[in-house]
Chains A and B, each alone.
Chain A
Amino acid sequence: MSSPASPSDPIKRPKKAPSAPKQALFAKIFHWINLISLLLMLTSGLQIYNANPVFGGRAGWHFPAFVTLGGWLAGGRHWHFAAMWLFAMNLLIYGIYIFITRRWKRRYASSSDVQVLQTGTNQKRRNYAWHRVVYTAIMPVLVLAIASGLAMYKPAQFHWLSGLFINWQILRTVHFITVPIVVLFTLIHSLLALKVGQFRLVKSMFT
């Protein structure tokens, strides 16, 4: 990721593109697996949703088939409970990685980003702060998706976890709500990445 221009930097840069931003290989692998496993989790999850919609039950609105994966409830479950390993293990390993390398301190939103958003006037620095805040904020949502999913998958053996969600309808709603949040995040995150580092930043994460 390119470091943001210092707000007080008076030097005009030549109109030549700066050197391409570089991403750590580990970060790129995490990002790819996260993207693919989330796509599998979301589409198979909507297949499961359709068996008994969270809102309205059997009479409720159903998702169209083209956003679902698995073809029927059992197929959706097979995909969901396979991709969950990919998704959860990837997130866990990445969590350990950013903890050990202290990456979470450097690459995630900090108090300085919050300060910039409150009082900063440099638009570039503000965009960069927004970018960091947004991708930082999705992390707890991903953890919540796993926690609420586990609470629904094994409500008897993880009774204490299910209990945190008060009742079944709230538990189902919380788990489902992570879907629109992730979709919305993907959109905003892509736009912010383009705004902060143009296409070369996006490319640096994918190649």
Chain B
Amino acid sequence: MQSPRRPFTRRHLLQLSGLSGAGLLLNACGAPLYSDQVNQAFEPLNQRVEKIILKPQSLVPEYSASAVNPEALLINSIDGTPEIDPTTFQLIIDGAVNRPMQLSLADLQSMPLTSMIIRHVCVEGWAAIVQWGGIRLQDLAALVQPKPEARYVYFQSADGYYESWDLPSALHPQTLMAYKKNGAPLPAENGAPLRLASPIKLGYKQSKWVTRISFTADLMDRQGYWVDKGYEWFAGL
């Protein structure tokens, strides 16, 4: 077969330039390009799968104390670190519950302490193995007794941050309201006096400086600080 040894014919070059042109157009220099529409089309499917694979009451395997890497846990916040006086701090738990409550830090610390060493995964791509200590949210729920219609849990933070979770994830045995990190009191920049910590949700779901927990029957318009900006609501791991 004696076709000329010119693998790159003009025709081929034109085709290639067409392809790369399409690529440029498709990427439009890093433009969002239909990402909202793509999300609307696929997020329901992804969320359904996330709910199916979530094992609401089984423990995610934990790590050994030697695996903890304190420097890997980066600090993110929307507006610095709010100043909260731990002596006057009150956690409000209300909404669709039989017994709404206000708990001081002393009240919370008198409850059973759960400690876990888990991987904290940030949406940005980094992760850190952290030891968290705190109260299981399911223990708090047992106190306030959510009504049967409660399906979501809202978390309000002192800095204006807000988040909402599905009830099964919130009642997971490793979903903690944490006040300890790596064996020491929780530092202010990590969310003191009280923050969410869990191995089953991305970091942005784990609100810091939580002041109010509300059980609700419906998901409200304001679903979460980053969720309302375009990130996934379920964000399960």
Q: How large is the interface on A (under 10, 10 to 19, 20 to 34, 35 or more residues)?
A: 35 or more
Q: At the interface, yes or no: B184 with Cβ under 8 Å from chain A?
A: no
Residues of A within 8 A of B32 (CB): 70-72, 75
B53 touches A77 (CB 8 A): no
Binding site for A on B (CB under 8 A): 1-3, 7-9, 11-12, 23-24, 26-27, 29-33, 35-36, 38-39, 41-43, 45-46, 50, 53-55, 60-61, 74, 119, 121-127, 199-200, 226, 229-232, 236-237
A77 touches B125 (CB 8 A): no
Give bound CA distance, A82 to B39, whole Å: 7
Q: Interface digits, A156-181 against B, CB 8 Å rule (1 contact, 0 not)?
A: 11110000000010001000000000
Q: Is the interface of A mostly helix, strand, loop or mixed?
A: helix
Ordered by A's residue number, 24 sampled pairs between the chains whose C-beta atoms are within 8 Å are A43-B27, A54-B125, A65-B30, A68-B30, A69-B26, A70-B35, A71-B31, A72-B230, A73-B231, A74-B226, A74-B230, A78-B39, A78-B42, A78-B230, A81-B42, A82-B39, A154-B53, A155-B119, A155-B121, A155-B127, A156-B236, A159-B60, A198-B7, A199-B9
A155 touches B237 (CB 8 A): yes
Residues of A within 8 A of B42 (CB): 78, 81-82, 85
A82 touches B38 (CB 8 A): yes
Residues of A within 8 A of B123 (CB): 51, 73, 77
| Closest A residue, CB atoms, query B122 | A52
Q: Is the interface of B mostly helix, strand, loop or mixed?
A: loop
- Name the 6 nearest CB pairs between A and B, nearest first: A65-B30, A75-B35, A71-B32, A82-B42, A78-B39, A52-B125
Binds B, one of A12-20, A130-138, A140-148: A12-20
Residues of B within 8 A of A54 (CB): 125
A199 touches B11 (CB 8 A): yes
Closest CB of chain B to A2's CB: distance in Å?
9
Q: At the interface, yes or no: A57 with Cβ under 8 Å from chain B?
A: yes
| Closest B residue, CB atoms, query A51 | B124
Q: At the interface, yes or no: A128 with Cβ under 8 Å from chain B?
A: no
B35 touches A79 (CB 8 A): yes
A73 touches B124 (CB 8 A): yes
Within 8 A of B (CB), among A175-197: 191, 194-195
Residues of A within 8 A of B1 (CB): 5, 13, 17-18
Closest CB of chain A to B173's CB: distance in Å?
13
A75 touches B60 (CB 8 A): no
Give bound CA distance, A158 to B60, whole Å: 9
Residues of A within 8 A of B33 (CB): 69-71, 75
Further contacts, 17 of them, CB under 8 A, given A73-B231, A85-B45? A18-B1, A66-B29, A71-B31, A74-B229, A76-B35, A77-B231, A77-B232, A78-B38, A79-B35, A154-B236, A155-B121, A156-B200, A168-B119, A168-B126, A172-B125, A194-B12, A199-B11
